[in-house]
Amino acid sequence: MKVAIIGGGPAGLYSAILLKKQRPDADIAVYERNRHDDTFGFGVVFSDATLDNFEKYDPPSYQRITQEFAYWDDIAVHFRGTVHRVGGNGFCGCSRRMLLLILQERARELGVRLFFEVEITDEEKFADADLIVLADGSNSRFRGKFADHFQPEVDLRSNKFTWMGSTKPLDAFTFVFQETEWGPFIAHAYQYEVGRSTWIFETDPDTFERAGLTGLSEEESAKRMETIFSEFLDGHPLLINRSMWRNFPMIRNQRWVKDNMVLLGDAKATAHFSIGSGTKLAMEDAIALADAMRSAPTIDAALNAYEHGRREEVEKTQHAADVSLVWFEHVDRFWDFDPVQFAFGVMTRAKAITYDNLGLRAPEFVAEVDKVFARQVRTRGFDINVEKPVAPMFQPFKLRDMVVRNRAVVSPMCMYSAKEGVPQDFHLVHYGSRAIGGAGLIFTEMTCVGPDARITHGCTGLWNDEQEAMWRRIVDFVHGNSAAKICLQLGHAGRKGATKLMWDGIDRPLEEGGWDVVSASPIPYFPDSQVPCELDRAAMSRIKQEFVDAAIRGDRCGFDMLELHCAHGYLLASFISPLTNTRTDEYGGALENRLRFPLEVFAAMRAAWPALKPMSVRISATDWAEGGLTGDDAVEVARAFGEAGVDLVDVSTGQTVRDSRPIYGRMFQTPFSDQVRNEAHVATMCVGNITSADQVNTILAAGRADLVALGRPHLADPSFVLRAAAWYGAADAYCPPQYLPGKEQIFRNSVRDRQDFEELKIKGKPKTRAELKADAKADPAKPLAAE
């Protein structure tokens, strides 16, 4: 078998090693245009987990790599004169040059043919090869040549960055956030060998411009960065090696394989340097390719298996890198934060590190985070303990005159169980049990303002006395038996109306017994859905009045709060999204026009709703679709509602159009809440795949939302909040007197359960390589277990 590998970076060399080990008889050649010891950049970093993988796949190169590595455990965040450190992270650094030399040596040993200073311009040169590996880096010539087939997407990010080195020693992965007269600069720095550290500098394009960096030579810009970061470099110089300022290319490819050619490493997909995973991805691609080649019967099948088996993992890493890079791009959002909260945000930005997890590694830091949060709550007029505060989830919050005892909310969820819009006993038990279960605030399901405003026959309504009476009964029960507040969500289904119950086919049109549906524009949801009638002014006025009438009934029921549903593609959302609003009157066109009707409805309801009671609006912050709403639009939408008097923006996403492409994952909508809260400066509630109290605390403590809604977790467990209160020892959590013995028991047991759990976690956690190295230093007779 003959294999030609174009590119002698980590992806090319490691795939050569693994394939040669697997097929010693194969003719494997690597072609690299640079000299063998000619490399840009300084260090690379790997996590302990990545090194475990290397150990499994090629122990000899692993041994050499780890001999050369610098290990460290801590992450340090420097911001406004403070430094916060967190241990237990397990990172290793090594020079890129050394890594490549080790891989070259190992490849040679195995019999791989290595060619340097050979630039490949045409794959025809390898017409007789069985497999051609395209590992030619982020500017891949061959990805470009076959762009029609691979369908690459190269998203050049806005921030400028450069990769420099220094002789400054560092004992932690260090983030420095430096204020300058031009704007914020960030350094991502780590030591990779004795006397050498990597310094990646990053800033936004405006700050770059204002700082006069445009057009400076490498030497000049290094001098400028030395001045900006002088207090952190301690007189050590910055070193340059092709240290040009660039924009990071986020690269993805629709296809990874063409005939017998396969993309690997940066040529195929990049991951932002802030999660240090580019080299990891490249080398793990090589592992995945070797695995596929080992088990598949033909090269075609192997390449197919590689692409299909590996894609999800790569996309997950890229998603984490995306979340992280966006955090750095928008660091100005958090610049006014308290340094402790800021540092907490840095640590938890990419979701892998959480509040509880930090609580184990750095309890004093998390205690500080809690205190900072509690002090902020106190400045809002709450007489709470700031010295030994409860976790953020159990801190109170106030909107107008409404006070909620904790930050956990039952998200609005249709139960599809009403009859003619009248809530049933099911609803009384459903809402009642969640109120008793301890949530601070409970939202009703989308309650419709008229019979033809319903999504389904099972939706609740509030347009007649019978409905009002049952809602009053529910509200009275909640107020009489719990400490929860209850918010009425009012909506109109628009073009998603006259559809089946969730369990009969969500959003599918009713075959019989439906009603005529309306929308901003006559565009059906599914191709076979009813074509909605475009609303005229008279119909808009009628519907606005229905919202007002329902709000007045809601007040009579005793609801504490009112939410206007402008999300998920329902009527008011259909006005806001450009994908569903193609009107040519003053309600279509620019965002300002598309918002006009939802704002009119909001203003009319606000005028009818008591001034002391708060109102929120639920929005879809993005349509997750080409040409649709984006996070930036959501900030504008939130600002407009904020000016109209909204107290809270309930930030959801999507469900506007059928062909949307949401990126799901843990807490996947939280970045939008973060953006809206910290750019539009309005209080927000976030929601979406938030499943644990740990995540709730992580979000709140990082200042990414003010309230956190949980939908499905509350369907599975009405006492979600009481359980969390027991876990965090929030003794003040409300419990009705009838249930007190249960509360006492769960609080008592939780202390022990938590201790057991933490001990298990600590005992079960393997030592990081940095810890093993420290142990070995203390006791030289003891071998390094992981090496």
Ligand X SMILES: Cc1cc2nc3c(=O)[nH]c(=O)nc-3n(C[C@H](O)[C@H](O)[C@H](O)COP(=O)(O)OP(=O)(O)OC[C@H]3O[C@@H](n4cnc5c(N)ncnc54)[C@H](O)[C@@H]3O)c2cc1C
Residues acting as catalytic residues: 570
Grouping H, G, I as helix, E, B as strand and the rest as coil, residue 648 is: strand
Name the DSSP class of 438: T
Q: Name the β-bridge partners of 489.
A: 563
The count of residues interacting with ligand X (CB under 6 A) is: 31
- Residue 120: name the closest of 28, 205, 32 by CA: 32
Site for ligand FMN in 493-522 (CB under 6 A): 502
Which residues touch 470 (CB under 8 Å, ≥6 apart)?
Answer: 422, 423, 424, 427, 428
Spatial neighbors of 699 by CB under 8 A, at least 6 apart, are 667, 670, 673, 686, 690, 705, 708
User: Which residues inside 188-217 make contact with ligand X, applying CB under 6 A?
Assistant: 200
Tell whether residue 421 is a contact of ligand FMN (CB under 6 A).
Answer: no
Please report the beta strands in 704-768, taking only residues with DSSP state E, as ranges in sequence order: 707-710
94 contacts ligand X (rule: CB under 6 A): no
**Closest by alpha carbon to 180, among 137, 143, 211, 154?**
211
Does 107 contact ligand X by CB under 6 A? no
Our finding on whether 32 is near ligand X (CB under 6 A) is: yes
Distance CA 128, CA 1 (A): 10
* Residue 138 neighbours by CB distance under 10 Å: 18
d(CA 596, CA 641) in angstroms, rounded, equals: 11
Per the DSSP assignment, residues forming a β-bridge with 709 are: 409
What track of x and - describes contact with ligand FMN for positions 597 through 626 (by CB under 6 A)? Answer: ---------------------x--------
Site stretch for ligand X (CB under 6 A), options 130-138, 383-391, 521-529, 568-576: 130-138
Residue 413 is a binding residue for ligand FMN (CB under 6 A): yes
Task: Give the x-and-dash track for 539-568 against ligand FMN (CB under 6 A).
Answer: --------------------------x-x-
- Strand spans (E) along 194-314: 196-203, 238-239, 246-253, 257-258, 261-263
Count Cβ neighbours within 10 Å for each residue of 693-727 and write b for 16 or more, e otherwise. bbbbbbbbbbbbbbbbbbbebbeeebbbbbbbbbb
Q: Is residue 494 a contact point for ligand X (CB under 6 A)?
A: no
- Residue of this chain nearest to ligand FMN (CB atom): 711
Closest separation in Å from C-beta 714 to ligand FMN: 8
Choices 165-173, 258-266, 548-556, 684-692 (CB under 6 A): range interacting with ligand FMN: 684-692
Structure tokens that stand for 63 in this block: 């041994």
Q: x/- site string to ligand X, residues 266 to 305, per CB under 6 A? A: xx-----x--xxxxx-x-----------------------
Which CB, 249 or 451, lies closer to ligand X? 249
**Residue 293 is a binding residue for ligand FMN (CB under 6 A):** no
Distance of alpha carbon 275 from alpha carbon 270, whole angstroms: 11
The position carrying tokens 């909001």 is 602
Residue 278 CB, nearest distance to ligand X (Å)?
Answer: 2
What SS3 state is found at 234?
Answer: coil
> Binding residues for ligand FMN, how many (CB under 6 A)?
20
3 state DSSP class of 80: coil
| Residue from the set 346, 687, 724, 730 that interacts with ligand FMN by CB under 6 A | 687
Q: Looking at residues 9 to 28 of the shown chain, list those that interact with ligand X (rule: CB under 6 A).
A: 9-12
Binding piece for ligand FMN, criterion CB under 6 A, among 231-239, 314-322, 406-414, 465-473: 406-414
By CB under 6 A, which span of 4-12, 219-227, 530-538, 550-558 interacts with ligand X? 4-12
Task: Give the residues across from 161 on adjacent strands.
Answer: 202, 246
Candidates 60, 524, 558, 711; binder of ligand FMN (CB under 6 A) is 711
Complex with ligand X: residue 136 or 368, whichever CB lies closer: 136
299 binds, options ligand FMN, ligand X, none, Cβ within 5 to 8 A by partner type: none
Binding mask 376-405 for ligand X (x = CB under 6 A): ------------------------------
Q: Which is nearer to ligand FMN, 413 or 772 (CB)?
A: 413
DSSP 776: H
**Residue 326 or residue 510: which is nearer to ligand X going by CB?**
326
412 contacts ligand FMN (rule: CB under 6 A) = yes
The entry of ligand FMN, ligand X, none that residue 6 binds, CB within 5 to 8 Å by partner kind: ligand X
Among 73, 74, 123, 136, binds ligand X (CB under 6 A): 136
CB nearer to ligand FMN: give 112 or 409: 409
Q: Which of residues 435-494 bind ligand FMN (CB under 6 A)?
A: 445-446, 489
CA torsion 718→724→726→727, rounded to 10°?
140
Question: Which lies closer to ligand FMN via its Cβ, residue 412 or residue 440?
Answer: 412
279 binds, among ligand FMN, ligand X, none (CB under 5 to 8 A by kind): ligand X
Which of 530, 652, 656, 750 is the binder for ligand FMN (CB under 6 A)?
A: 652
What whole-number distance in Å separates Cα of residue 488 and Cα of residue 528?
A: 32
Binds 265: which of ligand X, ligand FMN, none (CB < 5-8 Å by kind): ligand X
Q: How far is CA 131 from the centre of its chain?
A: 37
Check binding of 532 to ligand X (CB under 6 A): no
Is residue 123 involved in binding ligand FMN (CB under 6 A)? no
> 321 or 683, CB closer to ligand X?
321
Q: Does 712 bind ligand FMN (CB under 6 A)?
A: yes
Stretch that binds ligand X, among 134-142, 170-178, 221-229, 428-436 (CB under 6 A): 134-142
Cβ neighbour number for residue 215 with a 10 Å cutoff: 7
367 vs 389: CA distance, rounded Å: 8
Residue 765: CB minimum distance to ligand X, A: 23
Three-state DSSP at 366 gives: helix
If binding is defined by CB under 6 A, does position 688 make contact with ligand FMN?
yes
Segment contacting ligand FMN (CB under 6 A): 35-43, 129-137, 241-249, 705-713? 705-713
Helices 596-608, 631-643: crossing angle, 10 deg rounding: 40
Query: Largest alpha-carbon pair distance within the chain?
Result: 87
C-beta of residue 585 within 8 angstroms of C-beta of residue 643: no
- 3-state secondary structure (DSSP) of residue 483: coil
Looking at beta carbons only, is 218 or 600 nearer to ligand X? 218
Under the binding rule (CB under 6 A), the answer on residue 135 touching ligand X is yes
Task: Tell me which of 4, 86, 106, 137 binds ligand X, using CB under 6 A.
Answer: 137
Distance (Å, whole) CA 669 – CA 429: 29
Selected binder of ligand X within 20, 33, 361, 427 (CB under 6 A): 33
Of the candidate spans 110-118, 172-180, 188-196, 707-715, the one that interacts with ligand FMN by CB under 6 A turns out to be 707-715
| Cross-strand partners of 509 | 499
| Main-chain dihedrals φ then ψ at residue 387, nearest 5 degrees | -85, -40
- Nearest residue to 205 via CA among 159, 274, 152: 159
CB contact at 8 A, 594 and 576: yes
Residue 32 near which of ligand FMN, ligand X, none (CB within 5-8 Å, type-dependent): ligand X
**Token pair for 735:** 């419990």
Residue 536, classified by CB atoms within 10 Å of its CB into exposed (0-12), middle (13-18) or buried (19+), is exposed
Beta bridge partners of 620: 652
Q: What are phi and psi of 48, to 5 degrees?
A: -55, -40
Instruction: Please identify, using beta-carbon distances, which residue of 118 and 402 lies nearer to ligand X.
Output: 118
3-class DSSP assignment, residue 567: coil
Amino acid at position 220, single letter: E
Which 40-69 residues touch ligand X, going by CB under 6 A? Answer: 44-45
Residue numbers of the site for ligand X (CB under 6 A)?
Answer: 6-12, 31-34, 44-45, 119-120, 135-137, 141, 163, 200, 265-267, 273, 276-280, 282
Residue numbers of the site for ligand FMN (CB under 6 A)?
Answer: 411-414, 445-446, 489, 502, 565, 567, 618, 652, 687-690, 710-713
